[in-house]
Amino acid sequence: MSASAAPYTLMVADIHLQPDETHPINQTFIEFLQTDARHADALYILGDLFEMWVGDDIGLIQYHHAIKALKALNDSGVAIYALYGNRDFLMRDAFWQATGIQPLSKDVNQITLYDLPLLISHGDIFCQDDKGYQRMRRLLRHPWVQKLFLWLPQKRRLAIGEAMRNSSKTASQNKPMRYMNVTRSAITKFFQQNPQSNHLIHGHTHQPAHHQLTLNHQVKHRWVVGDWRPQAQILKIQSDQTLKLIAFPAV
């Protein structure tokens, strides 16, 4: 068997698909679903697949092409799992049914791939220097706040979503750089509380990298999956338990 035929699983994050279907990001993502992803055992989407999701009734229409491509991938036998991001946490049953994606609803999820235990997260939960963001996050994740929001008419939801998108853009331009990244203490504490795995995989910071730290004489790995601008940085986990960041399209 050639090396390329060895089974593998892919992880992506922060694609930020645009409501405009002709956007190059959407086209690249659909191409990815129809090529590299087809040969994977499974695809994990670590949040922020969509630029904004303000309800299944709107999103399933806005992102119609991507939804169809995700469903086709799932129908071809590739299992797809998705975590919520900070832009897309309002997907509900209609979305999971339309795509066949299986939701992983915790902030951090423990999975096992090829006998290797892994911890996966969107990653915003580790950006603890940004207290204002963490407060906002707790509010927006409250089930009642979400229920009330989804009861609003479509126009209102679109307007609120747009306003939040703009204010988050302005806010991130004015924030100190360290607010955009994870804190060392959050990561250290997390690994201490979760000794069952030596690998944490997340996105959100848009700074793809493989970080290592030694805790109690054990090497811990933090894999950051990148965004798709200009090129996708995807994590490939092979059946021999090796992990590596790869580009799509391949360079």
**Contact residues for Mn ion (CB under 5 A)?**
48, 85-86, 204
Q: Tokens 């306003």 identify what position? A: 163
Pair 126, 211: CB distance under 8 Å = no
Q: Shortest approach of Mn ion to residue 27 CB, angstroms?
A: 22
Q: Shortest approach of Mn ion to residue 224 CB, angstroms?
A: 12
- Closer to Mn ion by Cβ: residue 86 or 99: 86
Parallel, antiparallel, or unpaired: how do β-strands 199-202 and 209-215 relate?
A: unpaired
- Closer to Mn ion by Cβ: residue 157 or 204: 204
Residues 72 and 63: their CA atoms lie apart, in Å, by 14
Q: Shortest approach of Mn ion to residue 204 CB, angstroms?
A: 4
Parallel, antiparallel, or unpaired: how do β-strands 8-12 and 42-45 relate?
A: parallel
- Closer to Mn ion by Cβ: residue 78 or 234: 234
Q: Shortest approach of Mn ion to residue 203 CB, angstroms?
A: 7
- Closer to Mn ion by Cβ: residue 40 or 182: 182
- Closer to Mn ion by Cβ: residue 45 or 70: 45
Q: Shortest approach of Mn ion to residue 241 CB, angstroms?
A: 28
Residue 32, phi then psi, degrees to nearest 5: -60, -45
The one-letter amino acid at 39: H
- What stretch of H or E contains 174? helix 154-174
Q: Which of 107, 129, 130, 131 is nearest to 119 (CA)?
A: 107
Q: Which two tokens stand for residue 20?
A: 């405009």
